Structure 1
Amino acid sequence: MTAPCKYTSEPYTKVYYSDDRTTSVLDLPGGKVLNGDFKYMKIGLQVLSGTLVNATGISVPDFATENLFLPLDIEPPEN
């Protein structure tokens, strides 16, 4: 969840109001090279979910239902 991002706080406005959040995160200016320090950034989840959708061709909720909830016999959340 650590990202080489130049921002000291997450750029919520730029990312969350974008039409394509994953591309918006990937277009952020990079910061210093990762130095091993952990810096949690929620925008990393957007990259992960974009990668998952791109790789599988289905939405994150549908992927979780098919590969997590149903195999564990958990009632999937309603959309």
Structure 2
Amino acid sequence: MVGLLPGRIMTDRNRELFAATGDPERARAEAEAGIPLRRIGEPAEFGRVAAFTLSPAASYLTGVTIPVDGGALRGL
């Protein structure tokens, strides 16, 4: 079993949340400041990790949870 832990991904819901603040650019900048890569992930980036974990290339991968979060989960 493999699990994926998505971080902040630029989905329609995140766009709505940023817009609801009244200053979407500032809200996005504040969110990005808390991510070590200093940007919000794109859906395709998450999708590529998911596709890999479902592919034959990952057939020996088991028992892990993979953060897809730009480094937001600070652990070893």
Given the two structures, how large is their TM-score scaled by the length of structure 2?
0.28
Tell which has more relative contact order, 1 or 2 (C-alpha 8 A, sep 6+).
Answer: 2
Hey, which of these two has a bigger chunk of strand by percent?
2
Q: TM-score, normalised by structure 1?
A: 0.27
